[in-house]
Amino acid sequence: MQRAKNVHQNILTTIGNTPMIKMQNMTQDFPCPVYAKVEYFNPGHSVKDRMALRMIEDAERDGLLKPGGTVIECTSGNTGMGLALACSVKGYKLICTMSDKQSKEKIDILRAMGAEVHVCPTNVEADHPDSYYSVAKRCNEADPNSFWCNQYDNKSNQEAHYVSTGPEVWEQTEGKVTHFVVGVGTGGTISGTGRFLKEQNPDVQIWGIDSYGSVLKKYHETGEFDESEIYPYITEGVGEDILPANVNFDVIDHFEKVTDKDGALTAREMARKEGLFLGYSCGSTFQGLRQLKDRLKPTDVVVCLFHDHGSRYVGKVYNDEWMKSHGWL
């Protein structure tokens, strides 16, 4: 059967080519159109499917991952899901380490997909032996037939977006995109997509969304890694307490910080006003753009990339009792 009939050889070939949707009700006071690049249409329901597959395929090509091997990754959940899809199809074992601030839904989904999940404390230094970075490293050292993806520093992460997400955004806007807005964690999505877009048009503005409690914005503006910027925050998937090698600060024009509360409330608002049932960080992304709308003009074309699906946050952002427990409702 031909692919023109939308028939695929396996689930992995459905990754990418996600739709772009013009936002309507929440952008009426914007001077220009805003388009949502909705990544929950990927089979693992997030943008991370793209780089998860690329990391595994590159590791296979380079001889780092062999048949019957084990894939190891520290993840906030979405990369783990993308890896779980690939490992299921390709026959690898998967071990994921996660911080305990991640939603229960993410942990349960990974285990349902066959992953071994280690839940680690959030409020420890990255080099602490119990951090999810350190636990992943130990698992890797203990198994000679394992491959630690290390999405933070693995350049296959941003390369996946350079060859897929970037070209899709360019083609879907017919080269008219002027602003690309996305949450920043590992940095792969913004760096790969941003690099491609700036190669097509150096004037495209690349705006990264950050969290309070993260070091990224201040480092971008001052070159200083300020540990006093680091403190616990609730938002998942955006911000870092380290400087991942995948964050190409030269590609990013501006960082905007968004509070935990505003990100959560905006995610809920998008579900009710746009019909987009999105993840927590997607609320942060649009809220960040909303904070910057005075910089936009009528001739601009804005693309917001929304990372993942709201089903992973029904016990948090979309739960009234959880919201009330934080004083946000």
State which H helix or E strand residue 74 sits in: strand 70-74
Would residue 106 show up in a list of annotated catalytic residues for this protein? no
Helix (H, G, I), strand (E, B) or coil at 49: helix
Among 56, 87, 66, residue whose Cα is nearest residue 160: 56
Residue 217 structure tokens: 């914005």
Residue 148 structure tokens: 């630690």
- List C-alpha distances in Å: 136 to 130, 185, 242: 10, 18, 16
CA dist 277 and 30 (Å) reads: 22
Length of the chain: 329
CA dist 284 and 266 (Å) reads: 7
CB 83 within 8 A of CB 94: yes
- Transcribe 81-118 into DSSP letters: HHHHHHHHHHT-EEEEEEETTS-HHHHHHHHHTT-EEE
Question: From the candidates 5, 37, 48, 273, which is the catalytic residue?
Answer: 48
DSSP summary character for residue 151: T
Beta carbons within 8 Å of 44's beta carbon, 6+ residues apart: 15, 52, 78, 81, 82, 84, 85
- Determine what percent of the chain falls in helix, strand and coil, rounding each to the nearest 5: 40, 15, 40
| Residues labelled as active-site residues | 48
